Amino acid sequence: MKKATVTMMAVITVSLLNAKTTVQTAITDIERNNITLKALRKACDAEKIGNATGNYLEDPEVEFSYSWGSPADIGTRQDISVTQSFDIPTILGKKRKVAEMKNEMAEWQYRADRMNILLEARLLLIDMVYYNKMLLELAKRKTSAQAIMDAQKLRLDKGDGNILEYNNARMMFSTVEVETEQMETERNAVHSQLVRLNGGSDVTVDLYEFEPISLPLDFSEWFERKAETIPALAYMASSTALSKKELSVAKAMRFPAVSIGYVRENTLGQYYHGVSVGMSIPLWNRKNTVRQAKVAAEAAQYRQDNAVSQYRGQLEVLYNRTSGLRKTVEEYRLMLRETSSEALLAKALDAGEISVIEYSVQMGAYYELADKALAAERECQKAFAELTAMEW
């Protein structure tokens, strides 16, 4: 008995490991082939390039003027100037840091979009496992219904049965057939969605077991540990840090911008040349920029605090839902083990102790319980997938 138990546990363990590998393989394929993700990756890279465009010196200015003298005998004059303006090094350093923060935000936005797409794929894979398990269960029910229908037909042909019992057996068989067709239709629809996510390439999912669920014992401790890896929250944290850095830049921009250049003046028989130095004093154009940046930084902090609070609440709901559904699934499984009487009912039907209708009613109640158990397991898997979406 112990040897049989060990063997069964080994089979279950290998099955779960294979399921994990296959799900991971499907997710990896979708991440590689998904067209939306490719577009988002390119958009993210383009945004990073754009963030660097303001980190260089202003374009140099070149001026040339040609003037005619009056009276004509004084000749003409040509003026040439080349000027380069620049901010103080401190401002340039702050601007580069702002660009780096914007790049970080762009990356977190991409990761958030990636997480949503892969979560959609995971939920569809869970549906595929559910439909595979349901079709496997319906195949067993169909085999059982087929055997009962054939037995009733044989009895009818021998004169031992009656047409009512045979018709009841036929209806039971037809019901299973219709349920199978409906389940196959739903499964095909999910498969089409997976193909769409996989960039049009086929996705083969021969999974008949859900992945094991490892729920953390303490939600608060788990959330504190995972919060930094949640793309949406990391994006908001980066946004707050960026607003504070932009406030620092706004304060630094109150310093004048300096320009330096070369000038040359040509006149009749002589010329002048030398160096020019200028200064742009920020009196009007940047009025209220510091105040605006300060208010924006405060708003960003409030948005971050709200995002953390909202996201934590949503994840706690998913945590409690997963925990509750897992208990429900365990209770269903216990009830199924304790109420399994298919073999006894089949013997009673063969012996004529019960009618086909009685058999159908009692087995129908058992099948309904099994269906509810499987549906609860699917919902539990989906809640856990949403809870741990940031880990993929």
Question: Per mean pLDDT, which of 85-94, 169-178, 284-293 is the most reliable?
Answer: 169-178
Mind giving me the DSSP string for 168-218? HHHHHHHHHHHHHHHHHHHHHHHHHHHHHHTTT--------SPPPP---S-
Confidence of residue 35 (pLDDT cuts 50, 70, 90): very high
Does the pLDDT of residue 170 top 50, yes or no? yes
Residues ≥6 apart with Cβ < 8 Å to 39: none
Does the pLDDT of residue 6 top 50, yes or no? no
For range 55-63, the mean pLDDT: 81
Between 216 and 255, the higher pLDDT residue = 216
Does the pLDDT of residue 15 top 80, yes or no? no
For range 66-86, the mean pLDDT: 81
Q: Is 380 helix (H, G, I), strand (E, B) or coil?
A: helix
Does the pLDDT of residue 65 top 80, yes or no? yes
Between 3 and 262, the higher pLDDT residue = 262
Q: Is 305 helix (H, G, I), strand (E, B) or coil?
A: helix
Q: Is the pTM of this model over 0.85?
A: no
> With contact defined as beta carbons under 8 Å apart, do 55 and 92 qualify?
yes
Q: By C-alpha distance, which of 362, 360, 324, 323 is closest to 341?
A: 362
For range 361-372, the mean pLDDT: 88
For range 93-111, the mean pLDDT: 91
- The CATH number assigned to the domain with range 17-58+88-254+286-391 reads 1.20.1600.10
Q: Is 319 helix (H, G, I), strand (E, B) or coil?
A: helix
For range 67-84, the mean pLDDT: 82
C-alpha torsion sign, points 221, 222, 223, 225 = positive
Separation of alpha carbons 390 and 387, rounded Å: 8
Q: Which residues pair with 48 in a beta bridge?
A: none
Does the pLDDT of residue 348 top 90, yes or no? no
Say which DSSP state 278 is in: E
Between 303 and 8, the higher pLDDT residue = 303
> With contact defined as beta carbons under 8 Å apart, do 101 and 238 qualify?
yes
Q: Which residues pair with 277 in a beta bridge?
A: 260
The DSSP H or E segment spanning 84 is strand 76-86
Separation of alpha carbons 303 and 236, rounded Å: 7
> With contact defined as beta carbons under 8 Å apart, do 388 and 216 qualify?
no
Share of the chain above pLDDT 70, in %: 93
For range 14-18, the mean pLDDT: 42
> With contact defined as beta carbons under 8 Å apart, do 349 and 168 qualify?
no
Confidence of residue 89 (pLDDT cuts 50, 70, 90): low
State the distance between the two ends of the chain, measured CA to CA, in whole angstroms.
40
The predicted pLDDT at position 21 comes to: 46
Whole-number average pLDDT of the chain: 86
Confidence of residue 184 (pLDDT cuts 50, 70, 90): very high
Quickly count: other Cβ atoms within 10 Å of residue 379's Cβ.
Answer: 17
The predicted pLDDT at position 142 comes to: 92
For range 253-257, the mean pLDDT: 75
- Looking at the chain, the number of H-run helices and the number of E-run strands are 9, 4
Domain spans in the chain, listed from the N-terminal domain onward? 17-58+88-254+286-391
Angle, in degrees to the nearest 10, between helices 356-387 and 342-350: 160
Does the pLDDT of residue 60 top 90, yes or no? no
Quickly count: other Cβ atoms within 10 Å of residue 73's Cβ.
Answer: 7
The predicted pLDDT at position 285 comes to: 66
Does the pLDDT of residue 44 top 60, yes or no? yes
The predicted pLDDT at position 130 comes to: 97
The predicted pLDDT at position 149 comes to: 87
Confidence of residue 234 (pLDDT cuts 50, 70, 90): very high
Q: How far is CA 391 from CA 86, 119, 227, 323, in A?
A: 45, 10, 11, 19
Structure tokens at 274: 């030398």
Does the pLDDT of residue 14 top 80, yes or no? no
C-alpha torsion sign, points 381, 382, 388, 389 = positive
Q: By C-alpha distance, which of 219, 194, 48 is closest to 128?
A: 194
C-alpha torsion sign, points 290, 294, 299, 301 = positive
Between 134 and 5, the higher pLDDT residue = 134
Does the pLDDT of residue 275 top 70, yes or no? yes
Share of the chain above pLDDT 90, in %: 47
Quickly count: other Cβ atoms within 10 Å of residue 225's Cβ.
Answer: 11
For range 252-256, the mean pLDDT: 75
Residue 204 has φ and ψ, to the nearest 5°, of -100, 120
Least confident residue range of 218-222, 279-283, 362-366, 387-391: 279-283
Which amino acid, one-letter code, is at 233?
L
